[in-house]
Structure 1
Amino acid sequence: MDLALDELSVAIGGNTLVRHLTLDVPAGSVVGLVGPNGSGKSTALRCVYRALRPSGGTVRVGGTDLASLGLRRSARTVAALTQESGTDLDFTVREIVALGRTPYLRGNEPLGAAEHALCEDAMGRMDVRHLADRGVLTLSGGERQRVLVARALVQSPEVLVLDEPTNHLDIRHQVELLSLLRESGLTVLVVLHDLNLAAAVCDRIGVLSAGRLVASGTPAEVLTVALVREVFGVDAHVVTHPLTGDPQLLYALTPRHVTKGHPA
């Protein structure tokens, strides 16, 4: 199912955070949003998972205005991993993951065998099955992040929205998560700060600056020396990954000052 943001605008407290954002996410593709802090990335995502009502424009899934769907239908269609995802209650990992089936249940209806199998599969895919009986508050930040991704997978969505999903993850689990996104067959819209990870996982990238879309295209089309300097204010050299052919950025750091052979 495709996702489309059509002339999306968000104004809060007299400040316009997103301005006329138009972005298409074709069915089954992974599209990334990148940009400096405060550029409107997370705000745009909040409109997709209905935490915010846009001031103008629409969000469409499969051609249907998302705002016209009931909340249960919307929750079955779009799953989200947000920066604010979490819990203050010490549920077990198994219980947290099972919450992903809530849109499909009525009242206190218990999970059936098929639901339990979905939960087991999602925990296995995210390498948290061994934590199933642990309280979620006893987990590390990275372990908790993987649990929340498993919960989103159990929701069986057609569209998956993720805001900085690699936060707290070690390199192994970053690679595994991004590989899962590429192979999931879901329509994925993901915010990433790491431009090299975005280049590796995304079919297309949209670049936001001050709430506006300033570039959109394949990673090779978008991640240029000129754009990185203009939008992010840093100098970088673009090289080609020897195995994947993806563009990768090498950043020019300020040289360390050396005095009499010793680092400053």
Structure 2
Amino acid sequence: MVGTDSTVVSLRGLSVVAAGRALVDRLHLDVPAGRVVGLVGPNGSGKSTALRCVYRALRPTSGAVLLDGADLTSLKLRDSARSIAALTQESHTELDFTVEEVVALGRAPHARGNHPLTARERELCRRAMDRLDVAHLADRSVLTLSGGERQRVLVARALVQEPRVLVLDEPTNHLDVRHQVELLSFLHGSGLTVLTALHDLNLAAQVCGRVAVLSSGRLVACGAPAEILTPELVRKVFGVDATVVPHPRTGVPQLLYDFAPSPSDAPASADAPALAEGPHS
């Protein structure tokens, strides 16, 4: 699929206030069709809270989330679930379902009564499990899976939903390097409209066409990674020093963080007493 630049999801003056504190403060953000947009920022910057408003786990205090120009709150939950699939940090699968059964749950928004899956839907599940490298686990209980295996199962379930928009909150959590790269490479080339929160700025730079930087609930900057991820911004928002270099193959910015040596790494003073090598006689 080839995306266009028409906007699918818009956050318009989105604010969430809890206990007198603004978790998200007048956030404006557009997510174009077929693009991957990444939310980055320190812990507590409002990334997950904003995403919860998009997949309707949280109602904003003010402002709105628009889907194709329509306020999400004007849609039935079932209708919005057919368009928006979410992978959340709180995704739990505590029931003793098989992997195949969990993936098939992605068809729930489209189901009519208790009708079994059609041949097309079964094939959709099979392809999603193949894509996320969990087909060999189809008959396993999800309760027996590692964190990374379970994460891939939940992404497969979201794909089976056939959404127009994928909302992913830290989708690379628990994944090893290979599966991180495979998942983000798939998202980058899928043509799906993706809004994702990521902690790893280098992964965000590789996969996202647009990066939105949040700090204390507010949008600090938004644009292409090469324009946004500068040493000055990283220092201001994240409080660390970094050198930004182009990736040798793709040219996208990559951050090399400057680590100050800890006191234990400092060379010993000549006046410091030597440690005894053995018990005193």
Distance in 2 of aligned mates of 1:184 and 1:85: 23
Q: Tell me, what secondary structure is at the counterpart of 2:66?
A: strand
Aligned match of 1:175 in 167, 175, 181? 181
What residue identity is the alignment partner of 1:106? R
Aligned match of 1:47 in 39, 53, 56? 53
Aligned match of 2:136 in 114, 130, 143? 130
**1:258, distance to aligned residue in structure 2 (A):** 4.3
Distance in 1 of aligned mates of 2:260 and 2:75: 51
Aligned match of 1:79 in 76, 82, 85? 85
Distance in 1 of aligned mates of 2:72 and 2:191: 21
1:5-41 CA-to-partner distances (Å, cap 9, x unmatched) read: 1110011222210000000110000000000000000
Partner of 1:27: 33
Distance in 2 of aligned mates of 1:251 and 1:15: 32
- Structure 2 stretches of 5 or more lacking a match? 1-6, 269-281
Aligned match of 1:3 in 9, 22, 26? 9
Distance in 2 of aligned mates of 1:33 and 1:224: 16
Identity across the alignment (%):
71
Distance in 2 of aligned mates of 1:58 and 1:185: 25
Distance in 2 of aligned mates of 1:138 and 1:87: 11
1:174-202 CA-to-partner distances (Å, cap 9, x unmatched) read: 00000111111111000000000000000
The 4+ residue runs of structure 1 with deviation greater than 2 A are: none
Q: TM-score, normalization: structure 1? A: 0.97
Q: Tell me, what secondary structure is at the counterpart of 1:2?
A: strand
Cα RMSD of the aligned pairs, angstroms, is 1.2
Q: TM-score, normalization: structure 2? A: 0.91
Q: How many residue pairs align between the two structures?
A: 261
Distance in 2 of aligned mates of 1:37 and 1:80: 20
What residue identity is the alignment partner of 2:89? Q
Q: Tell me, what secondary structure is at the counterpart of 1:44?
A: helix
Distance in 1 of aligned mates of 2:8 and 2:247: 29
**1:112, distance to aligned residue in structure 2 (A):** 1.2
1:86-118 CA-to-partner distances (Å, cap 9, x unmatched) read: 211121000000000000112322111111010
Q: Tell me, what secondary structure is at the counterpart of 1:116?
A: helix
Distance in 2 of aligned mates of 1:183 and 1:156: 16
**1:210, distance to aligned residue in structure 2 (A):** 0.3
Distance in 2 of aligned mates of 1:145 and 1:50: 21
- Structure 1 stretches of 5 or more lacking a match? none
Distance in 1 of aligned mates of 2:187 and 2:28: 23
**Which protein is bigger by CA-based radius of gyration?**
2
Task: Tell me whether 196-205 or 83-92 shows the greater mean CA deviation.
Answer: 83-92
